[in-house]
């Protein structure tokens, strides 16, 4: 069974440039999460989807961050414009419902210069 | 405020010795409890979880965890550590009311010395 797939694994951009991350969850997992992980820290939730509905986006900085999950499967997280402080690892995870364990992708490491 | 604490930034243990990585939480009700492991430049991998039932739960790679309701703790244990267990370990709690949002600890780096 394929796991959660994320791309790109690494991205280096200059500040004020846009960037997008893509996530394909495990087949059949209706709940999808985007997390931010700073170096040496635990993941922090950015947004959670139940199917195609964003049910918790309270931690998403909506002035520059946006996300979508069309058709309730793949998801894209966008940052525009990127700032130096956005340098971090962006993790996607999925779960079967909201009570099960999370399955994480490998993450997308963003470096903003 | 709800929180998860991992009081040790790093735990060092000799190979073959038992290990314990501590986790305590402050979450109302009867939350679900999880442990995840993260190897360098990788995502988090699920190790084990406690939902209900026996206080000692067994998980992947020989790890187990003990739930203690009175102390609100969920410590990760392994009887005999391997060098390959060296990684970053995260405790996570999922409340069963309110926002149902997973709360992660700050992580404990485990270093197993040969």
pLDDT over 90 (residue B101) = no
Is the per-residue pLDDT at A1 higher than 70?
Answer: no
Using the 8-state DSSP alphabet, how is residue B16 labeled? Answer: T
Chain A nearest C-alpha distance from B108 (Å): 9
Suggest the residue from A101, A104, A111 to mutate for an interface test with chain B (most B CBs closer than 10 A).
A101
- Give the pLDDT confidence of A7-59 residue by residue, as tens digits: 999 999 999 999 999 999 999 999 999 999 998 889 999 999 999 999 999 89
More confidently predicted of A87 and B30: A87
- Say what the pLDDT of residue B88 is: 97
Tell me how far apart the alpha carbons of residues A101 and A97 are, in angstroms, rounded to a whole number: 9
User: What DSSP character marks residue B77?
Assistant: E
Residue B71 to residue B57: CA distance in whole angstroms: 17
> For position A83, what pLDDT does the model report?
96
- Spatial CB neighbours of A22, under 8 Å, sequence gap ≥ 6: A6, A7, A74, A75, A76
Q: Torsion angle, CA of A84/A12/A23/A9, rounded to 10 degrees? A: -130
Of A48-52, B8-12, B18-22, least confident by mean pLDDT is: A48-52
Q: Shortest CA distance to A32 belongs to which of A63, A67, A7, A64? A: A67
Contact between A12 and A111 (Cβ < 8 Å): yes
Instruction: Name the one residue in this structure whose structure tokens are 């931010």.
Output: A36
Share of chain B above pLDDT 90, in %: 82
Cβ–Cβ below 8 Å for B43 and A104: yes
User: Nearest residue on chain A to B35, judged by CA atoms?
Assistant: A101
pLDDT digits (tens, 9 = 90+) for A79-101: 999 999 999 999 999 998 777 89
How high is the pLDDT of residue A100?
82
- Measured between CA atoms, the residue of chain A closest to residue B102 is A45
Query: Residue A85: its pLDDT value, please?
Result: 95
Q: List the single best residue of A3, A26, A43, A59 to mutate versus B (max B Cβ within 10 A).
A: A43
3-state secondary structure chain A: CCCCEEECCEEEECCCCCEEEEEECCCCCCEEEEEEECCCCCCEEEEEEECCEEEECCCCCCCCEEEECHHHCCEEEEECCCCHHHCEEEEEEEECCCCCCCEECCCEEEEEC
Rg (CA), chain A: 13
Across A62-66, B24-28, B95-99, least confident range: B95-99
Nearest-by-CA chain A residue for B5: A42
Tell me how far apart the alpha carbons of residues B66 and B22 are, in angstroms, rounded to a whole number.
Answer: 10
Cβ of A102 within 8 Å of Cβ of B46? The answer is: yes
Q: What is the DSSP letter of B60?
A: G
**Does A40 reach chain B within 8 Å, measured CB to CB?**
yes
Closest CA to B32 of B12, B14, B49, B8: B49
**Confidence class of residue B97 from pLDDT cuts 50, 70 and 90?**
confident
Q: How far is CA A39 from CA A86, A109, B7, B8, B35, in A?
A: 12, 10, 18, 17, 19
CB contact under 8 A, A104 and B44: yes
Nearest to B104 among A42, A98, A105 (CB): A42
Is the pLDDT at B80 greater than 80, yes or no? yes
Interchain proximity A99–B107, CB inside 8 Å: no
Residues of B in contact with A41 (CB under 8 A): 106-107
Beta bridge partners of B94: B32
Q: Work out the pLDDT band at B75, boundaries 50, 70, 90.
A: very high
pLDDT of residue A4 exceeding 70: yes
A107 CB neighbours in chain B (<8 A) are 41-43
Counted across chains A and B, CB pairs separated by less than 8 A come out at 52
pLDDT at B66 over 70: yes
Cα–Cα dist A83/A38, whole Å:
14
Residue B96 pLDDT class (50, 70, 90 cuts): confident
Task: Verify whether the Cβ–Cβ distance A99 to B32 is below 8 Å.
Answer: yes
């Amino acid at each position: 069974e394929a796991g959660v797939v994320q791309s790109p694994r690494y991205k280096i951009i200059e500040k004020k440039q846009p960037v997008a991350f893509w996530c394909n969850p495990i087949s059949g997992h209706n709940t999808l999460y985007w997390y931010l992980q700073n170096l040496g820290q635990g993941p922090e939730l950015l947004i959670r989807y139940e199917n195609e509905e964003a049910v918790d986006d309270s931690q998403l900085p909506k002035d520059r961050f946006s996300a979508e999950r069309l058709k309730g499967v793949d998801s894209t997280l966008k940052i525009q414009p990127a700032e130096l402080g956005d340098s971090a690892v962006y993790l996607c995870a999925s779960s079967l419902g909201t009570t099960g364990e999370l399955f994480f992708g490998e993450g997308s490491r963003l470096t903003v210069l | 405020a709800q929180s998860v604490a991992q009081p040790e930034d790093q735990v060092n243990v000799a190979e073959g010795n038992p290990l314990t990585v501590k986790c305590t939480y402050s979450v109302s009700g009867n939350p679900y409890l999880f442990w995840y492991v993260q190897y360098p430049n990788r995502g988090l991998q699920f190790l084990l979880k406690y939902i209900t039932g026996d206080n000692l739960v067994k998980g992947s790679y020989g790890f187990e965890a003990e739930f203690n309701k009175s102390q609100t703790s969920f410590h990760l244990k392994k009887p005999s550590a391997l060098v390959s267990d060296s990684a970053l370990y995260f405790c996570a709690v999922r409340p069963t009311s309110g926002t149902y949002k997973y709360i992660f600890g700050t992580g404990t780096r485990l270093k197993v010395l040969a």
